[in-house]
Amino acid sequence: MEIRTLGAADLPACSDLAESRSWPREPAKWRLLHEVGQLFGVDAPGGGLAAGAAVVSFGTVASISMVLVAPRYERRGLGRAITAQALAAAGDRVVWLHASTYGRPLYESMGFTLDGGCQGHVGTFADDGGPAALPGSLASVLPLDLRAQGVDRRPLLERLGTPYVVDGGFAFGVDIGHVTVIGPVVAESEDAAKAVIRGVARSVPGEVRVDPDDRFPSFTTWLRERGLRPGPPAPRLVLDGRPLPGDASLRFAPLTRALG
């Protein structure tokens, strides 16, 4: 089956594909991936997509995500083929992804190795009354994000709305349709990370989601104490074990597993 580049008109089919794997539809996430990256897909006979994947590149780094194969087209090599297409699009960049238990063996067979991970936490935030971040400017957070990531991600951050900012930290609150994602959480201290979580959580209705990095167990415990329920772990894999740029001690949580 031929792999092609997907356009805006294909985004509903991307959500359909995700739903076929019991993933949330998340049209806002697919739209963001399309705007800042590339989407690839394989057309299914009779309509829809048999497989899909996304790659997003910033400077020397690229992330691969949303690698999905419709259940009726499993075990035909589509997952490997579309991942290879995404790798080709990434070129010689340092490539990383967050893997599911199902997908991890495939990625490891293609040269990816373990480099930590994160874990999704979802729930209604139980406020502890601590200090909170306030809305700030995009310009004020760009230098800290550059330190954390080692690459300029302005094309992504400028699409996320208004950041919540404290001295030494920031995060965005992004409504992806069924929950507000708080991220990326970039901070110089755990106290700053907590303050940006409070700031966003106090400003939005309903449930929130944070994917704390495994490097910060006490921060993760605090999120659980605030009522956020843990989901399955998401190991982070890097192709050929190459080091990711930036200061990992600042990266408390990604925006999503798809975007970092």
Question: Does 47 lie in the same domain as 133?
Answer: no
Residues 206 and 145 in one domain: yes
Domain of residue 163, residue span: 120-234+247-253
Indicate if 124 and 228 belong to the same structural domain: yes
Are 87 and 8 in a shared domain? yes
Q: Is residue 169 part of a domain?
A: yes
Same domain, 227 and 125: yes
Same domain, 137 and 47: no
Evaluate whether residue 206 is within a structural domain: yes
Report the number of distinct structural domains present in the chain.
2
Q: What is the band of 223 on the pLDDT scale with cuts at 50, 70, 90?
A: very high
User: Is residue 101's pLDDT more than 90?
Assistant: no
What average pLDDT does the segment 246-250 reach?
98
pLDDT in the model for residue 173: 97
pLDDT score, position 220: 98
Question: Domain with 35 in it: what CATH number?
Answer: 3.40.630.30
85 domain residue, yes or no: yes
Q: What are the tens digits of pLDDT across the range 63-97?
A: 999 999 999 999 999 999 999 999 999 999 999 99
Q: Which CATH number covers residue 183? A: 3.40.630.90
User: pLDDT at position 178, please?
Assistant: 83
pLDDT tens-place string over residues 202-218: 999 999 999 999 999 99
Residue 148 confidence (pLDDT) above 90? yes
Within-domain flag for 259? no
Do residues 143 and 227 share a domain?
A: yes
* 153-174: pLDDT as tens digits: 999 999 999 999 999 999 999 9
Query: Does residue 18 lie in a domain region?
Result: yes
**What mean pLDDT, rounded, does the chain reach?**
96
- Is 193 within the bounds of a domain? yes
Cβ contacts of residue 171 below 8 Å, gap of 6+?
Answer: 133, 163, 164, 182, 183, 184, 185, 186, 193, 196, 197, 199, 200, 253
The answer to whether residue 241 is domain-embedded is: no
What's the per-residue H, E or C state across the chain?
Answer: CCEEECCHHHHHHHHHHHHHCCCCCCHHHHHHHHHHCEEEEEECCCCCEEEEEEEEEECCEEEEEEEEECHHHCCCCHHHHHHHHHHHHHCCCEEEEECCCCCHHHHHHCCEEEEEEEEEEEECCCCCCCCCCEECCHHHHHHHHHHHHCCCCHHHHCCCCCCEEECCEEEEEEECCCCEEEEEEEECCHHHHHHHHHHHHCCCCCCEEECCECCCHHHHHHHHHCCCEEEEEEEEEEECCCCCCCCHHHEEECCCCCCC
Q: Which of 191, 227, 188, 235 is nearest to 210 (CA)?
A: 227
Mean pLDDT to the nearest integer, 100-108? 92
Residue 254 has pLDDT above 90, yes or no: yes
**Judgement on whether residues 59 and 126 belong to the same structural domain of the protein:** no
Within-domain flag for 181: yes
pLDDT value of position 10 = 98
Residue percentage of the chain with pLDDT more than 70:
100
The last residue of one of the domains, among 49, 77, 92, is: 92
Question: Which is more confidently placed, 93 or 256?
Answer: 93
Residues 30-72: tens digit of each pLDDT: 999 999 999 999 999 999 999 999 999 999 999 999 999 999 9
Question: What pTM does this model have?
Answer: 0.94
